[in-house]
A = this chain, B = another copy of it.
Amino acid sequence: MLTTNKPYAVGIDIGGTNTVFGIVDARGSVVASNSIKTQKYLDVNEYIDELCKGLQSLIDEVGGVDKIKGIGIGAPNGNYYTGNIEFAPNLPWKGVIPLAELVTKKIGIPVNLTNDANAAAIGEMTYGAARGMKDFIMITLGTGVGSGIVINGQLVYGHDGFAGELGHVIVRKQNGRTCGCGRTGCLEAYASATGVARTAREFLEIRKDASLLRQIPANEITSKDVYEAAVAGDKLAQEIFEFTGSILGEAFADFVAFSAPEAIILFGGLSRAGDLIMNPIVNSMERSLLNIWKGKIKVLFSELKESDAAVLGASALGWEAK
């Protein structure tokens, strides 16, 4: 049996902050995993060296490269057709990076690469909240805002492999915040973890009311601080989530007008805020939807552990690599 000869696939999830990688068996269990800090490596070759060193030691644990069918990688701005990362605003390496090729050369195993959010969507469709769905949108709320779009049961890659950059639809046409992509007003500049921290700094500067967040130096505030203050009952922190959710909900209404998905699934750090972010999203989306969709579109949290979803999804691509 083929699966006996090569019983494992590798999944790698490259995020703006961390890179998580793991060995996955045919049943979707992560049998070994590790991570490195993406941001630490300004030179992509040093990054590849470190990543492949960590990966090789996991591979050795399960019996060597002969046991691995393939490697799947999810990465921001990852292109399924070319295997390149191209112009990723949240990664340290600029321009076009032939990542699949670099990893194949080091490890000697075929590599498939895609958008990190696409990888998460595959994971969610196979193991999570989107099981049985043919039309859904995965929104990843992390360092940036990403998306994986599934239509008719297929991931949407577009004619060039770059489809699904919903973090970069423009939600503020006038006086929009600058975004890592070089433009202004992108969804990502508001609804990412860093966007939430920016909202906190803006609210604290403009407003005069008391807030637990005033105990933290403004440029050290993180989305986690905002979450903790909101849970502790801080009014200003709660309003930050309402503002963020309201922008997301308006954007979701436009996404629904495009592909009429059964559900929009939230994934990534910010989704840990639970009802604090879910309630304003749903209220705002319902206010903004066309009549035909009111009350009919589910907004759900991912059912997978955050690291697992992307690694599992990426590993699903690994099984098909050749």
Point out residues on A near B: beta carbons under 8 Å.
77, 86-87, 133-135, 149, 151-152, 154, 156-166, 168-173, 181-183, 250, 253-255, 257-262, 288, 290-293, 296
Q: Can you show 28 pairs from A to B with CB atoms below 8 A apart?
A: A77-B292, A87-B291, A135-B158, A135-B159, A151-B152, A151-B154, A151-B156, A151-B158, A152-B152, A157-B260, A158-B259, A158-B260, A159-B262, A161-B260, A162-B292, A163-B258, A164-B257, A165-B257, A165-B258, A165-B260, A166-B258, A168-B257, A168-B290, A169-B254, A169-B257, A170-B288, A172-B173, A173-B250
Give Cα distance in the complex from A258 to B260, angstroms.
13
Contacts A151-B156, A161-B260, A165-B290 known; list 7 others, CB within 8 Å: A156-B258, A157-B260, A160-B292, A160-B293, A162-B292, A170-B254, A258-B259
Structural contact, A258 and B149, CB atoms closer than 8 A:
yes
Complex: A164 Cα to B135 Cα, angstroms: 13
- A254-B253 Cα distance, complex, nearest whole Å: 13
Are the CB atoms of A255 and B258 closer together than 8 Å? yes
Nearest CB in chain B: distance from A298 CB, A? 10
Query: Please, which residues of chain B bring their CB within 8 A of the CB of A160?
Result: 260, 292-293, 296
**B contact residues around A149 at 8 Å (CB):** 258-259
A258 neighbours in B (Cβ, 8 Å) = 149, 156, 163-166, 169, 255, 258-259
